[in-house]
Amino acid sequence: MTRTRTGAERAADDIRLLGDGRIGLLTNFTGTMPDLGRTSDALVSAGAPISVLFGPEHGLNGSVQAGETESESHDPRTDLPIVETYLKSGAELDRVFQESGVSTVVFDMQDLGVRYYTYIWTLYDALESAARTGMRFVVLDRPNPLGGLRAEGPGLPDAAFSSFVGRSDINQRHGLTAGELARLFASRDLAGRGLTVDLHVVEAEGWNPGGGFDSTGLPWVPPSPNMPTLDTAFAFCGTGIFEGTNVSEGRGTTRPFEMLGAPYIDGRLATRLRESDVAGVLFRDVWFAPTFHKYAGSTVRGVQLHVTDRDAFRPVATGLAVLDAIAELYPDEFRFLPPGERLDGPDRRHAIDLLWGSDELRRTVESGLPASGLVGPAAHVTELYGPDVLLYPRVSAV
């Protein structure tokens, strides 16, 4: 198996790929080299003129939970200042970049491949700020852990539902790399607002979009505290919507997003799901007691998803199948979280609407109708985004 060489590895071998001038590196603990050393250390050792590190959600070291960032202002290993960018956008982020004294912003983080995963919206906000402030923007590209052939689930058709879990119209499972997303955002979103950006992508060499992350030869680095395994990432693409409900999505356990439960759920849920025709996954009846977040310290019952065939597994369709079963079996107990009740801070909109990208899912379920009909068949990435955005050839069928 030929190992994929990430954009970070290529840049460490040839820092000329980063361009000239002072650099601000927007990275975190997922910015690693093949030996799992940090990208920041490798680039500094190679002589890259990095003068500041920009930190996103979970912080540079990944020591805090969702909706938080770290308080450190100095990185002892590189002796560089750390400036947090989490939840900064618009004029505030413009000031952060301008006051840093850099001329180039370099982005190196491992995305997950899911619209409501926030690292790509850090990328989006930073790219937009670079356009406004006239800075060069470089993406050190990495593979999409969910593969690069298939897109599933809804987009974000209405700007009224834009948020930090979705700023732009891409599918719930989008199938693009961070570099390809940057090209899409620049050519569609920024250009549509009259903005241009000096964008450069250092491509990952040897990545097969049809082979999945297992074919890269790269080690799995959990991209956030609640994303321990690749199976978790696949499950999250469908079960992340439960963050907008009164069902525990398994935060506070060792298998977040693979385990779902609530005090009112009983053994009927697992039985119902095992009788369904959902492909590529098995359902196990489980009890668990979250150590934090929903139902912390209480024992709840539910199901664990065991992904058995990643190619056959359709995460968005699976998430809706579980949601339909819970809503039908427990109509008096199941509910969506009310406006303003969400994990990453106050927002006077329904969390489920922001996660889904519209209010269609919530209104469908509240009307007593099945949600499963809202997700159509998987689409090929090439058909959705076109060759001008894509950096890696897609040749296999969905």
Same domain flag for 311 and 209? no
- Name the residue with higher pLDDT: 71 or 73: 73
C-alpha distances in Å from residue 46, one per residue of 15, 100, 155, 349, 350: 7, 22, 40, 46, 47
Residue 224 lies in a domain: no
Does 398 map to a domain? Answer: no
- 35: pLDDT strictly greater than 70: yes
Specify if 131 maps to a domain: yes
Residue pair 238/317 in contact by the 8 Å Cβ criterion? yes
In the predicted model, is pLDDT for residue 396 greater than 80? Answer: no
Distances (CA, A) of 159 to 55, 126, 168, 374: 27, 19, 8, 19
Q: What is the average pLDDT value for the chain, to the nearest integer?
A: 92
CA–CA distances in Å: residue 12 to residues 106, 132, 182, 377: 13, 28, 21, 41
Q: Which of 223-227, 284-288, 381-385 has the highest mean pLDDT?
A: 284-288
> What backbone torsions phi and psi does residue 209 show, to the nearest 5 degrees?
-60, -20
Tens digits of residue pLDDT in 336-367: 999 977 655 567 899 999 999 999 999 999 99
Q: How far apart are the first and last CA of the chain?
A: 23
Pairing of strands 259-262, 300-307: antiparallel
Q: Residue 68 pLDDT > 50, yes or no? A: no
Q: Give the pTM.
A: 0.94
| Same domain assignment for residues 188 and 247 | no
Q: Is residue 220 situated within a structural domain?
A: no
Over the stretch 223-263, which tens digit does the pLDDT of each residue have? 988 999 999 999 999 999 999 999 999 999 999 999 999 99
In a domain, residue 222? The reply is: no
Q: Do 76 and 318 touch, CB atoms closer than 8 A? A: no
The position carrying tokens 């139902």 is 295
CATH code of the domain containing 234: 3.90.1150.140
Which range of residues forms the domain containing residue 12? 7-215+380-385
Q: Could you say which DSSP state residue 18 is in?
A: G
- Please name the helix (run of DSSP H) or strand (run of DSSP E) that holds residue 128, with its range, or none: helix 119-133
Q: What local confidence, expressed as pLDDT, does residue 337 receive?
A: 95
More confident residue, 23 or 64: 23
Q: Are residues 106 and 187 in the same domain?
A: yes
pLDDT in tens, 126-146: 999 999 999 999 999 999 999
Structural domain tally of the chain?
2
Residue 271 lies inside a defined structural domain of this protein = yes
Distances (CA, A) of 357 to 60, 155, 161, 172: 28, 6, 6, 9
Q: Within this chain, do residues 192 and 280 fall inside the same structural domain, yes or no?
A: no
- The three-state secondary structure class of 16 is helix
Average pLDDT over residues 98-112: 96
Q: Which pLDDT value is given to residue 341? A: 78
Cα separation, 112 vs 203, whole angstroms: 17
Comparison of pLDDT for 307 and 225, the residue scoring more = 307
CATH of the domain at 45: 3.40.50.12170
Partners of residue 385 on adjacent β-strands: none
- Identify whether residues 187 and 282 lie together within a single domain: no
- Each residue of 195-225: pLDDT tens digit? 999 999 999 999 999 988 989 999 999 998 8
